[in-house]
A = this chain, B = another copy of it.
């Protein structure tokens, strides 16, 4: 059996896991990232987290083929450098070199959303798919494209930002500076905005019995809709309509075998997924043939980041680190 280490480096937590070639996590460990502090201290804690996870798995550094790290922000995977990570307050930090100096094994670096997408393809919702797009419906809308087991990073390693493709020309302002991005309508933040707007226009809605405007979150419209509230049902319908538009755009553009949805909003499950599939498939170019894109929910949760990072190392091991 081949083993690699996957590290999910976030602004809040450092998580590391020992992963075998089948995508199974043998053991894990985690630490707080405690940002801001010097990069070298964070690095030392990454090493410690790795060694603890290895020890729990009954293995040592000699047993592993390499370490993969998923990191937020702009990455230069060729040089192994974190170019810019707002969450970590890092700029041009040679993370791979720093880790290699302590671990004496190959270290590979990737963007956290892309690495998590790789995890879902290796061991989750898109297991074995020739191509997949993983969409995260959280505060923003993240995207990772995997084709033939490789992350599509784009010419400048900044892909994919499907969340920042415009679906409503001159629509709602987006954090990126454009107007009408998919993210502005299908992130949890976008859903909160649409819920608040609907509440302001419908003082009789049940939504007012469940929350005030300040307390609106990404679940409340789904909850009130299930209780039969008309205003909330309209919000949910609008939300699903925008998301179906975005997924049909992805399908028409690149025809992946699977699209998987993760993040907070995806936790709604079937009440989201079933109408979403129906409405997306209505908009697919040329109609559904024998082979069509499956739309699924992500299954690995936070483990996608660890497993994907390990896969990055496993699939790169033997190539130039």
Which residues of A pack against B, CB within 8 Å? 74, 130-131, 143, 145, 147, 152-162, 164-169, 171, 176-178, 180, 242, 245, 248-250, 252-257, 283, 285-286, 289-293
Which B residues touch A154, using CB under 8 A? 131, 254-256
Closest chain B residue, CB of each to CB of A256: B155
A270 to chain B, nearest CB (A): 24
Determine which residue in A157, A158, A252, A256 has the highest number of CB atoms from chain B within 10 A of its CB, and name it.
A252
Q: Choose one: B147, B161, B248; the contact of A166 (CB below 8 Å).
A: B248
- The quantity of this chain's copies bound in the complex is 2
Assess the B167–A166 pair: CB atoms within 8 A: yes
A127 to chain B, nearest CB (A): 15
Q: How far is the CA of A131 from the CA of B159 in the complex (A)?
A: 12
Q: How far is the CA of A34 from the CA of B289 in the complex (A)?
A: 30
Which B residues touch A171, using CB under 8 A? 169
Assess the B253–A155 pair: CB atoms within 8 A: no
Q: How far is the CA of A171 from the CA of B167 in the complex (A)?
A: 10
A233 to chain B, nearest CB (A): 19
Assess the B254–A158 pair: CB atoms within 8 A: no
In the A-B complex, the 10 residue pairs with the smallest Cβ-Cβ separation, listed nearest first, are: A154-B255, A165-B249, A156-B291, A155-B257, A159-B255, A161-B252, A168-B169, A161-B285, A164-B285, A164-B252
Which B residues touch A285, using CB under 8 A? 158, 161, 164, 176
A166-B249, A169-B171 given as contacts; is B256 within 8 A of A156 (CB)?
Answer: no
Which B residues touch A177, using CB under 8 A? 283
Closest chain B residue, CB of each to CB of A170: B168
Closest chain B residue, CB of each to CB of A130: B155
Q: How far is the CA of A147 from the CA of B152 in the complex (A)?
A: 9
Which B residues touch A131, using CB under 8 A? 154-155
A156-B292, A285-B161, A291-B155 given as contacts; is B254 within 8 A of A169 (CB)?
Answer: no
A255 to chain B, nearest CB (A): 2
Q: How far is the CA of A177 from the CA of B252 in the complex (A)?
A: 13
A-B contact pairs, 21 of them (CB 8 A): A74-B286, A130-B155, A131-B155, A145-B254, A154-B256, A155-B292, A157-B255, A158-B285, A158-B286, A159-B253, A160-B255, A162-B252, A162-B253, A166-B167, A166-B245, A168-B169, A169-B171, A169-B180, A169-B242, A177-B283, A250-B253
